[in-house]
């Protein structure tokens, strides 16, 4: 399966919508797109994961790397629209304790 990535900007915030599966096959594409959106200082990302139906540890690694990149440049990200399954994945790994996660989808663009 593939993954689709859409990035829109509004008021100095990048809104990213992901859909599909984030696994070993699609993670490099997701990583490249997200890292491009995260370039620069004080970048703010809101990432909608409501369309993601599967994520493995490779996908989690993408978000850990993105989180570190943003934090090192005074940036920030919020993950939104998580399904119960994805939320559980972030909870089990402890990432939900350090990342800003909201199960609701945030509009804006």
Higher pLDDT, 63 or 12: 63
Q: Does domain 3-102 have CATH number 3.30.70.20?
A: no
DSSP category for residue 97? G
Q: What share of the chain is helix, strand, coil (3-state, %, to 5)?
A: 35, 35, 30
* Per-residue pLDDT band at 109 (split at 50, 70, 90): very low
**Helix/strand/coil for 100:** strand
Q: What pLDDT, in 10s, does the model give residues 16-69?
A: 999 999 999 999 999 999 999 999 899 999 999 999 999 999 999 999 999 999
Cα 24 to Cα 13: distance, rounded to the nearest angstrom? 28
> Residue 103 in contact with residue 78, Cβ under 8 Å?
no
Cα 14 to Cα 16: distance, rounded to the nearest angstrom? 6
* Per-residue pLDDT band at 12 (split at 50, 70, 90): confident
Q: Where are the domains of the chain?
A: 3-102
């Amino acid at each position: 399966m593939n993954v689709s990535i859409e990035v829109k900007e509004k008021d100095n915030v990048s809104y990213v919508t992901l859909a599909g599966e984030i696994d070993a096959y699609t993670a490099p594409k997701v990583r490249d797109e997200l890292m491009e959106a995260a370039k620069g200082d004080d970048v703010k990302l809101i990432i909608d994961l409501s369309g993601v139906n599967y994520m493995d540890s490779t996908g989690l690694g993408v978000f850990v790397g993105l989180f570190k990149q943003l934090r090192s440049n005074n940036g920030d990200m919020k993950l939104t629209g998580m399904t119960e399954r994805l939320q559980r994945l972030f909870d089990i790994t402890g990432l939900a304790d350090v990342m800003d996660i909201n199960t609701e989808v945030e509009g804006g663009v």
